[in-house]
Structure 1
Amino acid sequence: MINRLFIPTVMLASLSLAACTQTPNAASNLAFSNNGNYIKVADEDEVYRDKLTYDIQAAGLSPKGQVNVWAEKLVNELVLQNDVLRPDQPLLITTPVMTSDLNVTNELALQLQQGLLTAFHAHEFNLVDLNVATNLRATEQGEFMLSRNWELLRTDLPVSHVLVSTMTLTPEGIVFNARVVNITNNRVLSAVQSFVTASSLSGYLQPSEIIESRDGLLYRHQKRGDSRYTVLGDKQ
């Protein structure tokens, strides 16, 4: 009788032990497939911890281009030079404009503006997005919330600090200047200056042609690239 009871008991204990050893690790629930490769989240000694350890290259941060890295470096220096602005004070990022004409911008400047906003947010600044409209617009092309039409935007934003910036195109690249300004008294709280060679922004800049049209006039140069660079997409 004892032997008959002993065998089922041993079998039950073995099954229970197997079930315990096969219990999925809590970290395994976060595993995923990346380009056909099975990526497992690292977990110390394969024991669940409150804080998991991630492999950034495997888990993935969104890829960054040249403009994004440039924006991060600009903001890093602006934060370093900042002497008054606190992270809890609202800050508005305006579009960079051309030094020669403060009413003119380009595709590169528009993209850089987005990068500056993201970089400031990484430093935990209190950012305000001016382009968020007061109402959602549902159309056949999609649902839109962003707008550059001032009639659709709020006019009562509680902002007293803005980032303004200018850029100049040269035969070697771009000269860029930016500063955080208190618009109540025009005091400059932080400033940065930067020069980027054209080769570092190959996807945005193109060298001048031998014959160049600028401001309604034709210019002839000895060879391609003698004049200042232009931003791809700009009207000549």
Structure 2
Amino acid sequence: MITRYLMLGSLILATTACTTVEHDPTDRGTVSDAGSLDIVDVQAIDRHSAQQRPDDEADSFGAVGQPRLYSSVQGAYKGRPLTRHVGDYVKNLTQDLISNMEYVTSKTPVAVTNFALLDSDLQQTDLLGRQMSESFMHELHKFRIPVLDYKATDYIRVTGDGDFLLSRDYLDLNSSLPIEYVLTGTMAKHQGGVLVNARILGIESRAVVASAQTLIPFYVVDALIPSDGGASAGTKDGVKLSKG
């Protein structure tokens, strides 16, 4: 009799173990034995959540409702926060320039130009090239290197749009400034981002007295937003404008 009860108990335990192991293959996103979500399950949840939302909302937010970062390669947002910006990469470039810089001292004024597109005639730039020049002026000043802003005029222009000192009209600018060195550079699109080449040149000798190079990822570059929001001329916020 005892042997029969032991055999019956063993059979019940074996049946219970089999029931515990079995699971519905369509039940995705369950917690694994290690206590964490399986990667495949999380991706499936993300896809399912995106299908339940309108296209514009699905493209802008991840499965947990967090903003995604835009990628020029993928054309979609990546579910991770933006922890670095263009200024951080310019800071690293400046440190590299300072580490191998020659002749430039606290008594040799430096000008900073926009960075040119490498595959152009070197007379074209974009928002990234302009922002890098602004950031370089800040970083050089932190190192106590005298920086001359040649875009500054001799007067303040008061307009209905604001009060301005800077200008891009060469007729407004001083053509004779004590500039001895110039920080300039080029940009080239890379598969993973924008390859930046920076250098400091002697304005008269054209000799390179410092150089640096880095790769700025696309998700950092695309975080810069044009002031017009990318809208074409004659439009605002995607709405065509016309005179009444």
**Is the structural similarity TM-score above 0.5?**
yes
- Cα distance in 1 between the residues matched to 2:113 and 2:230: 21
- Cα distance in 2 between the residues matched to 1:71 and 1:92: 16
| 1:98 to 2:93 alignment | no
| 1:66 to 2:73 alignment | no
For 1:132, the equivalent position in structure 2 comes to 152
Question: What SS does structure 1 have at the residue aligned with 2:223?
Answer: coil
For 2:77, the equivalent position in structure 1 comes to none
Is the 8 Å Cα contact of residues 183 and 199 (structure 2) preserved in structure 1?
yes
TM-score, with length taken from structure 2: 0.56
- Cα distance in 2 between the residues matched to 1:113 and 1:234: 24
- Cα distance in 1 between the residues matched to 2:98 and 2:136: 12
- Indicate the RMSD between aligned Cα atoms, in angstroms: 2.1
Unpaired stretches in structure 1, ≥5 consecutive residues? 1-63, 206-231
Aligned residues: 146
- Please report how far the alpha carbon of residue 200 of structure 1 lies from its aligned counterpart in structure 2 after TM superposition: 3.6
Give the ranges of 4+ consecutive aligned residues of structure 1 lying more than 2 Å apart after TM superposition: 199-202, 232-235
**More strand by proportion, 1 or 2?**
1
- Please report how far the alpha carbon of residue 65 of structure 1 lies from its aligned counterpart in structure 2 after TM superposition: 5.6
- Please report how far the alpha carbon of residue 160 of structure 1 lies from its aligned counterpart in structure 2 after TM superposition: 1.6
Q: Please give the per-residue CA displacement for 1:19-61, whole angstroms capped at 9, x wherever unaligned.
A: xxxxxxxxxxxxxxxxxxxxxxxxxxxxxxxxxxxxxxxxxxx
For 1:89, the equivalent position in structure 2 comes to 108
- Please report how far the alpha carbon of residue 198 of structure 1 lies from its aligned counterpart in structure 2 after TM superposition: 1.6
Question: What SS does structure 2 have at the residue aligned with 1:154?
Answer: coil
Identical amino acids, percent of aligned pairs? 23
Q: Which amino acid aligns with 1:95?
A: N
Is the 8 Å Cα contact of residues 161 and 183 (structure 1) preserved in structure 2?
yes
For 1:16, the equivalent position in structure 2 comes to none
| 1:187 to 1:178, Cα distance in 2 relative to 1, 3 A | same
TM-score, with length taken from structure 1: 0.58
In terms of Rg, which structure is larger?
Answer: 2
Question: What SS does structure 2 have at the residue aligned with 1:76?
Answer: helix
Aligned with 1:203 (options 200, 223, 226): 223
| 1:76 to 2:95 alignment | yes
